[in-house]
Amino acid sequence: MKYSIAIYGGPYSHQATHSAWHFTRAVLKRGHTIERVFFYHDGVYNASALTAPPQDEQNLPLKWQQLAEDNDFELTVCIAAAVRRGILDENEAQRYSKPAANLEQGYQLSGLGQLVDAGLTSDRLISFGP
């Protein structure tokens, strides 16, 4: 079956990203496919390239990036939720005349329609709330 995941909780304040990570790995292990992981609300903080956790802690932004690359699924970040929290790609940084962009590689900013699309085209959409 095709699965999509929605993450609403930010890193270091809620368990959502960890739960979603373990669930996503279990989904893949059972032979299903992941179509898209959608980051919404404070979940967009997972996509910051400036995250610098201690070396003896998990770096979930990078682990998502690797897992998505290995298993060919999208890491989609809600653009409206992201730009108001200071998560910008090059385009948005230019649009708002900001000095830098900080969206982690492998993640893409896109509209909320992508979450609706995930709900329509995936067999299952699982949300991990804050």
In sequence order, the 6+-apart residues with CB closer than 8 A to the CB of 86 are: 102
How many residues form the binding site for other proteins (CB under 8 A)? 21
Q: How far apart are CA 35 and CA 46, in angstroms?
A: 18
Residues 73-112 within binding reach of other proteins (CB under 8 A): none
Strand bridging mode 107-110 / 74-78 = parallel
Q: How far apart are CA 22 and CA 81, in angstroms?
A: 24
Taking CB under 8 A as the binding criterion, the range among 28-36, 65-73, 78-86, 105-113 that sits at the site for other proteins is 28-36
Is residue 8 a contact partner of residue 115, using CB atoms and an 8 Å limit?
no
State yes or no: is 78 an active-site residue. yes
26 in contact with other proteins (CB under 8 A): yes
- The site string for other proteins over 6-25 (x = CB under 8 A, - otherwise) reads --x------xx--x--xx-x
128 in contact with other proteins (CB under 8 A): yes
Q: How far apart are CA 129 and CA 7, in angstroms?
A: 6
Which entry of 5, 34, 68, 78 is annotated as an active-site residue?
78
Query: By C-beta, is 30 or 84 nearer to other proteins?
Result: 30
Q: How far apart are CA 26 and CA 19, in angstroms?
A: 11
Q: Which residues are catalytic?
A: 78
Binding interface with other proteins (CB under 8 A): 1, 3, 8, 15-16, 19, 22-23, 25-27, 29-30, 32, 124-130
